[in-house]
Structure 1
Amino acid sequence: MSAPGDVAELGARLEKRLTEIAGTDVTVEHLRRLTAGASRETWSFTAAGAAGRRDLVLRRDPPGADRPDGMALEAASIAAAAGAGVRVPPLVDSGTDPATVGSPYLVTAHVAGETLGPRILREERYATARDGLAAELGRTLARIHAIPLDAVPGLPHADPVEELRTTYDSLDEPLPTVEIALRWLDRHRPAPVADALVHGDFRLGNLIVDESGLAAVLDWELVHRGDPREDLGWLCVKCWRFGSPLPVAGLGTVDELLDGYAEVAGERPDEEAVRWWQVHRTTWWALACREMAQRHLSGVTPSVELAAIGRRVAENEHDLLLLLGHPAHEDAAAESPPSDLYGRPSAPDLVDAVTAFLREDVMASDDERLAYLARVAANVLGGVGRELRLGPEHERRHRARLASLGYGDQAGLAAAIRAGEIDDTDPALLAVVRAAVTDRLAVANPRYLTLPG
């Protein structure tokens, strides 16, 4: 949470910059940090000046974690998208000099509507918007992919599988599920198509929806050059359906999405290629969750939110296994009895008490971000309590499963899969990996096991 002094300083910097742009005094009111954005800060405020009052949004890198090239690409992409008829927030200002507002930034006009996926999917006021939205998202992606590549110079490009492997190796946390996914992706690469400008994070959460439909596309920080079907696959990844059984962002069918795309693009993307990208981006998201957690673990950006995201790796491992045809089979573990050495309340009892305090007292705060972080912290403690209760039995059977394959730890098993010493399609291997992921998810987020796949 930002200290009052930090907010005042940021407000003063924004006033100075906006005054320079307007040529007349501008004051900043109601500056507050929003809950959105684990990788970048998002702030809302009102700018008041001679021309009137205007609601604006600031996105900036966390101070000290500057990515000036990325912010410049994001600003250029928003401008190019606007020129191509894509609905985006009007760009007001951008810059990479940290002296302006503390780090590279961009400022856009506020666009009214909703970004939270569960609200878009469930609230009655968005019922009209939901009808036909999957097709509209397809049409929007076709417009994005038609943006000329030279309209945004410097777009990064990489081999999709090798980029995953490089990221995975840099984390130094071997995961058998990821090794299996990487081998599957390498074997099943789709036929190539012409490169396009790829948004990179097109999903609920980065889209503003109002009661009539799509209002704006946000968050262009992952824009790059590549296979346009990547955006389509990412929109179908299970975690962004928020519990809905519908495969496209919880909103509609793949046919609706691809038919909408074809209306603008003139051709229908190959459905199997889109599914390949769904597997790819599920793997990518697993690694991205672990990367964000590393920012906390390394001390670069201490954050309960980033720490919590690290435990979401298990959700993505589960989704990968579902995509590859390996559903979960729950095998409930016996809870460990509390130690008589420490007495009651036991460690799980204390965790439960703090969790209840966060949910019942802190989450009731009028401070929106504090309430959000309290919910994150309560969810984290819920997982800690489950690990205290179930962890010893989970650990015992995890070791037994590994031993049944002749390995002493997960790292050894992952290395064997990579080296081809064990067939990544071997049913015995897949059963061991599937059981381990199920146990991890039973601690991290047991409700996720019940969501439609």
Structure 2
Amino acid sequence: MGPEASSEAVAESLGAALSRHEGRPGRVQALRRLTGGATKRTWSFDWVCGESTQALIFQQTPGQSGPRGRVPKLDAHEDASLMRVARAHGAPAPRVHLLLTEGDGVGTGYVTEAVEGETLGKKLVGDAAFAPARGRMASQCGRILATIHATPTDQLSFLKTLSPGDEWEVYSGLLAECGVRHPALSYALRWVRERLPSRWRAGLVHADFRTGNLIVGPDGIRCVLDWEIARIGDPMQDLGVLCMRSWRFGGSGEVGGFGDREDLYAAYEEASGHAVDRERVRFWEAFSNLKWAIACARRGSGRRDDGSPASLELSAVGRRMEEPLWDFFTLLSTSPKGAPR
């Protein structure tokens, strides 16, 4: 089934696949498209089987991961396997209900249980209804990240291992390929290369753990989404991404726009038994700003076959390259030691 199939066709094929999985007939109701991402399509629906009705989420994903040596991109089977392992170890990953293949007639992807809550960053950092949650979310993030980083990876042989140096090679290569030249990008690349950590403890890294990828209720964080770029690497990377200003959505808290660094660090240390290397977190926060700037540059430089811009939306994303670059240099100037090393 092509990516632009009608909702009626998706509902029919999805219902048939779930009926085979359940071993009894059922039907899909209230199917609704949630997002329009470049690589995934997300639907919510109710699965009615017998006397029960269950709220579920269907994610249509690409059938293969990215080229070797590039940014990790898990396929549907790998993504679902990772979430199952992480959840079994105690992380609040989505509960996978069904893995779909091309033979199911709806494309590759998976079905997970729906989790009630909010993901919109602006609401999470500013809405009064989430004030009680904001007071505990930094500590919750520390405990959740400690759990993720301690997750055994013996069943996850498909994950790439990326050292800090590997990360630099991948992203500098991506920038070179897209052809964007900018003095600030050149300086940031050199700065990161000269400060690559030589000592780090390998663990499972989510790599996109941030506001916007967390489902939150009045009680706090209920689920962690978007595991498809996970890798084995330096766990401090996750703490750095979470503290990026781009993902604070205007909130005042340095952690995700909602909390304080010390609450995050203290909870992580207590739950993991490992000290937080604050300077290395700052390094990864700086590097993550550079990564996001490179991602913006790549999107903005996208072209159609005739050489015209890929889309107005992607061109607009490209213009945002300067925001994470500003954050990169601001971070260097405000770091307690002048610049993270």
TM bucket (normalised to shorter chain) is 0.7 to 0.9
Give the distance between the partners of 1:85 and 1:12, measured in 2 at CA.
Answer: 34
1:100 is matched with: 104
1:130 is matched with: 134
Identity of aligned residues (%): 33
Segment of structure 1 superposing worse, 5-14 or 141-150: 5-14
The equivalent position to 1:79 in structure 2, one of 70, 76, 84, is 84
The equivalent position to 1:245 in structure 2, one of 244, 252, 265, is 252
Amino acid at match of 1:145: H
Number of corresponding residues: 321
1:309 is matched with: 317
Contact 1:73 1:223 in 2 (8 A): no
Residue correspondence of structure 1 range 39-438 to structure 2 within 5 A: 39-50=39-50, 52-61=52-61, 66-67=63-64, 69-95=74-100, 97-158=101-162, 159-293=166-300, 297=304, 305-325=313-333
Shift of the 163–5 alpha-carbon distance from structure 1 to 2, 3 Å rule, reads: closer
Shift of the 298–257 alpha-carbon distance from structure 1 to 2, 3 Å rule, reads: farther
* Greater radius of gyration (CA): 1
Give the distance between the partners of 1:41 and 1:306, measured in 2 at CA.
Answer: 18
Give the distance between the partners of 2:34 and 2:300, measured in 1 at CA.
Answer: 20
Shift of the 302–51 alpha-carbon distance from structure 1 to 2, 3 Å rule, reads: farther
* Cα distance, 1:303 vs structure 2: 5.6
List structure 1 segments (4+ residues) > 6 angstroms apart after TM superposition. none
Amino acid at match of 2:92: R
Give the distance between the partners of 1:293 and 1:44, measured in 2 at CA.
Answer: 30
Shift of the 271–171 alpha-carbon distance from structure 1 to 2, 3 Å rule, reads: same
Contact 2:26 2:48 in 1 (8 A): yes
Shift of the 121–205 alpha-carbon distance from structure 1 to 2, 3 Å rule, reads: same
Name the one with the larger helix percent.
Answer: 1
Task: Provide the TM-score with structure 1 as the length reference.
Answer: 0.66
Contact 2:180 2:297 in 1 (8 A): no
Aligned to 1:290, what secondary structure does the other structure show?
Answer: helix
Shift of the 302–183 alpha-carbon distance from structure 1 to 2, 3 Å rule, reads: closer
Give the distance between the partners of 1:176 and 1:195, measured in 2 at CA.
Answer: 33
Aligned to 2:80, what secondary structure does the other structure show?
Answer: helix
Shift of the 302–111 alpha-carbon distance from structure 1 to 2, 3 Å rule, reads: farther
Unaligned runs of 5+ in 2: 66-73, 335-341
Give the distance between the partners of 1:72 and 1:292, measured in 2 at CA.
Answer: 26
Q: Do residues 10 (structure 1) and 7 (structure 2) align?
A: no
Contact 2:47 2:54 in 1 (8 A): yes
* Cα distance, 1:20 vs structure 2: 0.8
Contact 1:38 1:305 in 2 (8 A): no
Question: CA offsets per residue over residues 107-140 of structure 1, 9 Å max, x none?
Answer: 1000000001111111111111111211110110
Name the one with the larger strand percent.
Answer: 2
Aligned to 1:24, what secondary structure does the other structure show?
Answer: coil
Shift of the 208–261 alpha-carbon distance from structure 1 to 2, 3 Å rule, reads: same
Give the distance between the partners of 1:119 and 1:41, measured in 2 at CA.
Answer: 23
Aligned to 1:325, what secondary structure does the other structure show?
Answer: helix
* Cα distance, 1:30 vs structure 2: 1.3
Give the distance between the partners of 2:310 and 2:42, measured in 1 at CA.
Answer: 17
Give the distance between the partners of 2:204 and 2:34, measured in 1 at CA.
Answer: 28
